[in-house]
Amino acid sequence: MSTGLISSSPNSPPTARLTSIVSHLSNVRPKVVICRHLGPAMPLLEDRKDIEVVLWPEDRSCERSWLLEQIKGAAGVLVFLSDRVNEELLEAAGPNLRVVSTMSVGYEHIDLPLMAQRKIRVGYTPDVLTEAVADICVMLALMAGRNDGAAYSLVKNGDWAKPKYAWSPFTFCGPQLSVTPSSPTRTVGFLGFGRIAQATLARLIPFGITHCLYTGSPSSRPDTARDAALQATHKLKALERVEADRLARESDILFVLTPGGAETYHLVDAAFLRKMKPMSVLVNTSRGSVVDSDALATALREKWIWGAGLDVVEGEPLISEDHPLVKEPQCVIVPHIGSATFQTRLDMATRAIKNLYGGLFGEEMPAELGKQ
């Protein structure tokens, strides 16, 4: 009886049977698992006739049990930050898996040594979200400095119109981002000085920023030529790579833009925050794990620093109204929306799909980890 997979008879000549097997194998479409619907980028998947697409059907993070079941026999998978790519997943997938593509810049959810050991290619989506995240860095700096959380709540809750509200010359005042006659110098600091930090700096120059300080990875050398060029381009009085202590002490606005992981866990802790200026603002748009949330809540409550603007929080998305940072009126928190523009998310999804195809068919991937 024919199985429907190979049409040749067992009694066919060996060469004919081999030809039939090769023909069948060449027509097998590689299976790819997509862990979320990719909106306007979906036609890039749906229009391909040379792959079998298995898509998580709901508009929420895919369930682990579903992924472990569907990954069986897959050649590729497109994941997100909430999807752990570890030994459990690879064992469920089996030997066919040859590419993991993540729609994110971060890759802490992927066991990279294991990927290298299994010779599985890994794609990610850097660069395309640089401008969107730099935009939100400036937005959060302004919101935190100008008491946006408390001021907005006053209007939203109807208290602005009530008799108990009384205006005074210094109501809702906060530190100004731009230079003024009484404050002619402004120092911006960056914990990490990659593409997003440099794009953020460029946006801050029109505010009159005069000094820029940053820290770099201990394993990287200072790029003096780049720094000299940036200082000249932006007409800064100084642009320096410094130690973390000096960064904390001198920054008026400090942007956390370093990767996550064990090496950067709680780099911004109580000791770091105590060194900062009482009128300084902390902005974190990188990874929640870099900032000790309890220490930051204490710093805000006890006025070690002025305010904080956060796009990421350790433990997200399980951040409720009882979280210590949510309770702090001078802490502005948004739900990890740094890359959330239509243009950027479409670019990220497109790159993630192209990375997937590159790994599936042995072609170049637009952004492959380990190939930089």
* Assigned token pair, 74: 């897959």
What are the φ and ψ backbone dihedral angles of 205, each rounded to 5 degrees?
Answer: -55, -45
Kindly tell me the burial class for residue 66, based on how many C-beta atoms sit within 10 Å of its own C-beta (0-12, 13-18, 19 or more).
middle
Please give the angle made by the CA atoms of 63, 65 and 70, to the nearest 5 degrees.
95
Q: How far apart are CA 96 and CA 82, in angstroms?
A: 23
Q: Which residues contact 117 (CB under 8 A, 6 or more apart)?
A: none
Q: How far apart are CA 156 and CA 151, in angstroms?
A: 9
Catalytic annotation, pick one of 109, 234, 266, 336: 336
The answer to whether 336 is a known catalytic residue is yes
Q: How far apart are CA 146 and CA 329, in angstroms?
A: 12
SS3 call for 49: coil
Catalytic site positions: 336
